[in-house]
Amino acid sequence: MAIQPIYAQIGLLSLAFLALYYPFITTLVRDWDTNESYSQGYFIPFVSAYMIWSLRGELAATELKPSNWGLALVALGLLQLFVAKVGSEFFLQRTSMIVVDIIRLTVTAILASRYGGEVAHGFLHDFSGWLVFVAGIALLIGVQVLLNKLGNSK
């Protein structure tokens, strides 16, 4: 049985996301385990999904207006991750993950509403996935180069 292209694309996007955010996800979950103030973190994805599901009728009826600002927002999210990584600021590292994914999914929904499912599918699984992956890798390489230069200057 051959793997359908959609599942291969979802798998590649998931791997790219995990490659970029795995270190931050593990520390986030560790904080949920060890700090009682953050223990509600396990429920956030489920509560968020329920809230979106309960508003599905209103969301479907909302007039969507596409904008090219989505790419700028994705770039800002990745820049936020870069700045947070260099400054070892965990809150910014974690929120950049959410910002980038929310923007990508919002743009996909706008495209589906405005231009149809095929265009949205192409954006979600081809263009935006590769853009986020390439930008993430480029930022990681940039951080490594910067850290090497800072380490050699001492």
More confident residue, 95 or 144: 144
Question: Average pLDDT of the chain?
Answer: 76
Of all residues in the chain, the percent with pLDDT exceeding 90 is 1
pLDDT band at 47 (very low <50, low <70, confident <90, very high): confident
Concatenating the DSSP letter of every residue in 73-138 gives HHHHHHHHHHHHHHHT-HHHHHHHHHHHHHHHHHHHHHHHHHH-HHHHHHIIIIIHHHHHHHHHHH
12: its two tokens: 């590649």
pLDDT given at position 84: 73
Tens digits of per-residue pLDDT, 125-137? 666 667 767 777 7
pLDDT given at position 153: 62
The DSSP call for residue 19 is H
pLDDT given at position 15: 84
The DSSP call for residue 55 is T
Residues 6+ apart with CB under 8 A from 42: 32
Chain mean position to CA 152: 32
Contact between residue 96 and residue 82 where contact means Cβ atoms under 8 Å apart: no
Of 17-21, 65-69, 126-130, where does mean pLDDT reach its minimum?
Answer: 126-130
Q: Of 130, 100, 134, 106, which Cα lies nearest the Cα of 120? A: 106
pLDDT of 154 above 60? no
pLDDT of 65 above 60? yes
